[in-house]
């Protein structure tokens, strides 16, 4: 788990946006934006950064599959297979 590069990447970019909220403290199955208190602009920044680093299109139509930390992580893994 700890040497999972995609998870590490997600944690890194969340940390840039919400440095005061440790990933270990959140409910990873709950709404990501509420857990990290990030607004739509922050979310856009996060999606942009993840898309660039992983070379993924991150279409808006898929945002429903990125609601929680766990969902977003699963989505990124499924796209990188």
Give the residue, chosen from 1, 24, 25, 41, that forms a contact with another protein under the rule CB under 8 A. 41
Q: Residues 57 to 76: which contact another protein by CB under 8 A?
A: 57-61
d(CA 74, CA 68): 10
Per CB under 8 A, does 29 bind another protein? no
Residue 4 in contact with another protein, rule: CB under 8 A: no
- Reference 10, options 41, 30, 32; nearest CA is 32
Which residues contact another protein by CB under 8 A?
18, 20, 31, 33-34, 37, 39-41, 44-45, 47-48, 51, 57-61
């Amino acid at each position: 788990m700890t040497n999972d590069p995609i998870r590490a990447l997600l944690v890194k970019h969340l940390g840039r946006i919400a440095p005061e909220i440790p990933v270990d403290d959140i409910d990873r199955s709950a709404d990501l934006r509420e857990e990290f208190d990030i607004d739509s602009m922050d979310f856009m920044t996060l999606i942009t950064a993840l898309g660039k680093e992983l070379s993924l299109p991150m279409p808006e139509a898929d945002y429903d599959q990125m609601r929680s930390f766990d969902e977003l992580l699963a989505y990124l893994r499924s796209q990188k297979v």
